[in-house]
């Protein structure tokens, strides 16, 4: 087992992951807002007390704050960094002075401004994954069974050497790597495996094995196992033209794994201990950094997708909450009243803070020093 990285590497790794990702996320909001002529009062990396900053000629205060757990762009008309509209202040603004105010921008512009943050994080991940595909190629091992582990889920289900697995739980598998990805996120669950044998299409229900794997740093992960193997791994080169579609597909697959994992935690099929917060991000950042820049940059891509996904959840105070209100506004053909929005955003903010507190306590409890 590899020795855990020193605390200074936790701090450096955490800052190198979240700092740039938060900055590009907020830049997405800011740049699209600026494109539409919406004034930004503040652009902040971090929360709380300002450490350093300056005000540009447009009147935007650019600042670095003490708590490095996120950031925000506060547009003209916002009551606070969560972009809650200040209804009383907005009502006092004369019509001729409403130009440049976020909350008086057309609905489609507000939607694009809010969506730009998560979209930028997705783009960062796609660029990284595309780069990896071009440099290292793509594994495309045919999904043909070359070996079956004795007493495994596959053996119990009657899967044999030579069978070609074409789908798992309804998801098509074009390669052995596809099979592994799908199986890994369903530990101990019953899935339907579809395969071809002697030109005949067959399917069998399989209760996957559940393995608890431990990495070189002592982190434990629950993963599903079918119990089949391939003879050899095939790696093909990826061109520039192929890399972007491939990276987009990989991003979608990672998103699907996140949704599946959260669903399993909610339904009790995975323990709450698998939820991670800032402490775990710092821990994993340090571990990946200690393994080298290749591992670390890959981890950055995963966190970028995670950040985009979380922000798109329809929780008031997050980007997804704003977008949900805009959908309601589009359907109703008028905004949700300011008081309802304010209460929803306050409730959402309380939920986010409570969740952050929970995952932070959960993170500390999982550390070896606390018996995790």
Catalytic residue chosen out of the listed positions 26, 160, 213, 329: 26
Tokens 């290749």 correspond to: 294
Q: What is the pLDDT of residues 39-65, one digit of tens each?
A: 999 999 998 899 999 999 999 999 999
Give the pLDDT of residue 366.
75
pLDDT at 97: 66
Residue 40 CB neighbour total at 10 angstroms: 24
Q: For all residues of the chain together, what is the average pLDDT?
A: 88
User: How high is the pLDDT of residue 89?
Assistant: 67
Looking at the chain, the whole-number percentage of residues with pLDDT higher than 90 is 58
Is the pLDDT at 87 greater than 70, yes or no? no
Distance CA(302)–CA(297), nearest Å, equals 9
SS3 content of the chain, % helix, strand, coil (to 5): 50, 20, 25
Confidence of residue 68 (pLDDT cuts 50, 70, 90): confident
Question: What residues pair up with 148 in beta bridges, in sequence order?
Answer: 228
Tokens of 25: 């996320």
Tell whether the torsion through CA atoms of 243, 245, 249 and 255 is positive or negative. Answer: positive
Residue that is written with structure tokens 């969506």 in the block: 115
Tell me the mean pLDDT in the region 260-269: 84
Residues 89 and 77 sit within 8 Å (Cβ to Cβ): yes
Backbone angles phi, psi at 247, to 5 degrees: -65, -40
Q: What is the 3-state secondary structure (H, E, C) of 34-83?
A: HHCCCCEEEEEEEEEEEEEEEECCCCCEEEEEEEEEEEEEEECCECCCCC
Q: Looking at residue 237, what is its pLDDT?
A: 93
Do 246 and 154 form a contact (C-beta atoms < 8 A)? no
| pLDDT value of position 215 | 79
Residue 143: name the closest of 222, 98, 197 by CA: 197
pLDDT at 82: 60
CA 304-254-294 angle, 5° bins = 60
Residue pair 370/341 in contact (Cβ under 8 Å)? The answer is no
Domains (range + CATH), the chain: 7-135+293-370 (no CATH), 138-236 (2.30.42.10)
Q: What is the largest CA-CA distance in the chain?
A: 77
Q: How many CA atoms lie within 13 A of 270 on its CB side?
A: 25
Could you tell me which residues come within 8 angstroms of residue 367 by beta carbon, excluding any fewer than 6 positions away? 279, 283
Asked whether residue 285 carries a pLDDT value surpassing 80, the answer given is yes
Structural contact between residues 69 and 278, judged by C-beta atoms closer than 8 angstroms: yes
> 271 falls in which pLDDT band (50, 70, 90)?
confident
Query: Distances in Å between the alpha carbon of 252 and those of 118, 125, 237, 280?
Result: 14, 11, 21, 23
Decide: 40 and 75 in contact? Cβ < 8 Å.
yes
In whole angstroms, give the CA distance from residue 85 to residue 200.
62
Query: What tokens does 1 get?
Result: 């087992």
Residue position matching structure tokens 């798992």: 168
pLDDT score of 123: 97
**Alpha-carbon gap, residue 276 to 365, rounded angstroms:** 11
Confidence of residue 70 (pLDDT cuts 50, 70, 90): confident
Q: What would the pLDDT profile of 298-354 be if each residue is shown by its tens digit?
A: 999 999 999 999 999 998 888 999 999 999 999 988 888 777 877 888 888 888 889
| Per-residue pLDDT reduced to its tens digit, 244-258 | 999 999 999 999 988
> What span, in angstroms and rounded, lies between the C-alpha atoms of 250 and 248?
5
Share of residues in the chain with pLDDT > 70 (%): 94
Q: Can you give the pLDDT at residue 103?
A: 81
State yes or no: pLDDT of 157 exceeds 80: yes
Active site residue 213: no
Give the span between the Cα atoms of 311 and 120, in whole angstroms.
12
**Residue of 283 and 276 predicted with greater confidence:** 283
- What pLDDT score was predicted for residue 83? 65
Q: Any idea which residue has 């935690």 for tokens?
A: 265
3-state secondary structure of 341: helix
Measured distance CA(121)–CA(119) in Å, rounded: 5
d(CA 304, CA 322): 20
Q: In this predicted structure, what is the pLDDT of residue 57? A: 92
pLDDT, tens digit, 9 for 90 and up, residues 10-37? 999 999 999 999 999 999 999 999 999 9
Average pLDDT for residues 68-72, to the nearest whole number? 87
pLDDT tens for residues 179-228?
999 999 999 999 999 999 988 999 999 999 998 888 777 788 889 999 99
Distance CA 95, CA 135 (A): 55
Q: State both tokens at 143.
A: 């999904």
Q: Tally Cβ neighbours within 10 Å of residue 206.
A: 25
């Amino acid at each position: 087992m590899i020795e855990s990285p020193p605390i200074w590497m936790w701090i450096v790794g955490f800052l190198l992951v979240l700092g740039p990702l938060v900055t590009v996320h907020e830049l997405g909001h800011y740049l699209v807002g600026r494109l539409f002529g919406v004034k930004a009062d503040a652009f902040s990396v971090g929360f709380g007390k300002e450490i350093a900053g300056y005000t540009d000629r447009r009147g935007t205060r650019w600042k670095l704050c003490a708590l490095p757990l996120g950031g925000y762009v506060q547009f003209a008309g916002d009551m606070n960094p969560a972009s809650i509209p200040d209804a009383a202040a907005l009502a006092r603004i004369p019509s001729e002075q409403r130009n440049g105010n976020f909350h008086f921008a057309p609905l489609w512009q507000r939607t694009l401004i809010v969506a730009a943050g998560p979209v930028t994080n997705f783009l960062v991940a796609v660029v990284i994954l595309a780069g990896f595909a071009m440099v290292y190629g793509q594994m495309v091992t045919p999904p043909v069974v070359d070996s079956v582990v004795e007493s495994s889920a596959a053996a119990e289900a009657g899967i044999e050497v030579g069978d070609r697995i074409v789908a798992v739980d309804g998801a098509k598998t074009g390669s052995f790597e596809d099979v592994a990805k799908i199986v890994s996120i369903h530990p101990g669950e019953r899935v339907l495996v579809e395969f071809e044998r002697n030109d005949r299409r067959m399917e069998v229900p399989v209760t996957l094995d559940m393995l608890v794997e431990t990495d070189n740093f002592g982190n434990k992960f629950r993963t599903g196992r079918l119990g089949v193997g391939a003879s050899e791994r095939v790696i093909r080169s990826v061109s520039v033209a192929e890399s972007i579609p491939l990276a987009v597909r990989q991003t979608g697959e990672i998103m699907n794994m996140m949704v599946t994992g959260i669903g399993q935690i909610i339904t009790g099929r995975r323990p709450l201990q698998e939820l991670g917060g800032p402490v775990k991000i710092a821990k994993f950042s340090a571990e990946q950094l200690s393994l080298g820049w290749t591992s670390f940059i890959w981890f950055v891509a995963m966190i970028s997708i995670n950040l985009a996904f979380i922000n798109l959840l329809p929780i008031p105070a997050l980007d997804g909450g704003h977008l949900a209100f805009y959908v309601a506004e589009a359907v109703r053909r008028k905004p949700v009243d300011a008081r309802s929005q304010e209460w929803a955003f306050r409730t959402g903010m309380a939920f986010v803070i409570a969740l952050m507190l929970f995952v932070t306590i959960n993170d500390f409890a999982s550390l070896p020093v606390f018996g995790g």
